[in-house]
Amino acid sequence: MTIFVQTLDIAGDAADRDALPTVALKDTIDIAGTPTRAGSRSLDDAPPAPAHAEIVRNLLAAGWRIAGKTTMHELAFGTTGINRWAGTAPNPKFPDFVPGGSSSGSAAAVAAGMVDASIGTDTGGSVRIPAACCGVFGLKPTFGRVSRQGVMPARSTLDCVGPFAADMRSLVACMAAIDPSFRSGSGPLPSVDDVAIGLLETDADAGIAAAVRAAVEAAGLPVEPVRLTGMRAAFEAGLSIINVETWAACAALVETGLVGEDVAFRLRNAARTTVEDVGRAEEVRTTFTAEVDALLDRVAVIALPTMAGPPPLVAEAGDTSRLVRMTTLVRPFNLSGHPAIAIPLAPVDGAPASLQLVAAKGADELLCAVATRIADRLPPPD
């Protein structure tokens, strides 16, 4: 399976290496002695990274074993995970559907049971979307909470490093490893007995909306309907910001002529983003962030689908430039910087479905506690 672009066996000084939990890393994260290629032929000749990214050092210090680097959507600029040069990761649980991008191999490695957890990055849904497509858990932490030192691109106002896992226990353990300040590393998650959940009004397909509502109500916590009027504007603003920041990071690579045609096309379009576009997007960022903050003063967690509909079928996903709207319900929270998690649900009409939860900035522990409560009460998979 095209999941690992390089297999590794890197651990600390533990006597019994085989007993250590295993983790795979997206190929935008530096591992000393290994080139970071970001799934692109334009970086095929990249030199080995001179040092580990900070999160890699944290993982090793916490007793994890690095199993390898995973394939991804080229230059982390796409939502499907299709990569004609580095290889497209299969979707182990839903093989007819795309694995999701851009952290496709990281989600697939967990879904296939190849590792205990994996690490991806999320600039516009790139952890939560592949988690939803592959039927696993995926966390986008609060912006800035997890170190991005040694992670491509070097500069971003949207991107977050986050873990994938097949269950909440493993996800929490991995989060505690990459972020030593995460409190569950030294004690239980916060109590959620008194928290309220706001069920967000969206335009999701009826079957997905019903599955999300059922999962939230099964948690036995107070639930109330809520709205965010700025979701559409925040989605569009998030596109403007990611366009200008990714073009700044990747323009020189596009000029080599070695970037895949689909990604190069989107990047050249991204280059048309104007200073005025960015200025308007930053105004939306301020307004939408305040709206989300105000809502999270009323409820502890916002619940909504991770994707409004099923992911594309592999057979129908050739034109990746048309698929960016897979992220309409996730990208707004990259713009605002709030932590968000994807929780797998039972398939809807044979397609993967996923619940997204969003919490206040810095409340990643509470977010994981509510996610654990909901996950524990979901029916077991068939």
Instruction: Find out whether 223 and 197 touch, Cβ atoms under 8 Å.
Output: yes
Work out the average pLDDT over 203-228. Answer: 97
Q: Which of 40, 102, 103, 118 is catalytic?
A: 102
The pairing of strands 301-305 and 351-359 is antiparallel
Residues 6+ apart with CB under 8 A from 361: 142, 143, 293, 337, 338, 339
User: What does the angle CA 327 – CA 230 – CA 357 come to, to the nearest 5 degrees?
Assistant: 55
pLDDT of residue 184: 61
Banded pLDDT at 322 (limits 50, 70, 90): low
Identify which of 367, 377, 373 has the alpha carbon closest to the alpha carbon of residue 183: 367
C-beta of residue 333 within 8 angstroms of C-beta of residue 140: yes
Look up residue 8 and give its amino acid: L
pLDDT tens digits, 230-264: 999 999 999 999 999 999 999 999 999 999 999 99
Residue 347, judged by CB atoms within 10 A of its CB (0-12, 13-18, 19+), counts as: middle
382 lies in a domain?
A: no
Give pLDDT, residue 187. Answer: 66
pLDDT of residue 216: 98
**CATH number of residue 180's parent domain:** 3.90.1300.10
Give the confidence band of 140 by pLDDT, cuts at 50, 70, 90.
very high
Range of the domain at 300: 9-376
Choose, from 126, 240, 336, 354, the residue flagged as catalytic.
126
Identify the pLDDT of residue 170: 97
Higher pLDDT, 159 or 1: 159
Answer yes or no: is 381 within a domain: no
Residue 319: the pLDDT is 60
- CA gap 95, 90 in Å, rounded: 6
Nearest to 346 by CA among 63, 163, 9, 94: 94
What is the predicted pLDDT for the residue at 185?
55
- Does residue 1 lie in a domain region? no
Asked if residue 273 is part of any domain, the answer here is: yes
Domains contained in the chain, number? 1
Between CA 219 and CA 237 the distance in angstroms is 33
Task: Read off the pLDDT of residues 166-202 as tens digits, 9 standing for 90 and up.
Answer: 999 999 999 999 999 998 655 678 889 889 999 999 9
52 lies in a domain? yes
**Residue 126 appears among annotated catalytic residues:** yes
CA atoms of 140 and 173, how far apart (whole Å): 15
Q: How far is CA 361 from CA 114, 145, 195, 340, 346, in A?
A: 32, 9, 16, 10, 29
Establish if 180 belongs to a structural domain.
yes
Cβ-proximal residues to 28 (8 Å cutoff; 6+ apart), any chain: 36, 38, 72, 76, 121, 151, 152
Asked whether 32 and 59 are in contact (CB, 8 A), the reply is: no
What pLDDT score was predicted for residue 342?
Answer: 99
Answer yes or no: is 58 within a domain. Answer: yes
In a domain, 239, yes or no: yes
In this prediction, residue 367 has a pLDDT band, given cuts at 50, 70 and 90, of: very high
Q: Which two tokens stand for residue 26?
A: 């997206």
Angle between helices 364-376 and 168-178 (to 10 degrees): 160
pLDDT tens digits for 41-74?
A: 999 999 999 999 999 999 999 999 999 999 999 9
pLDDT more than 90, % of the chain: 91
Pairing of strands 301-305, 197-200: parallel
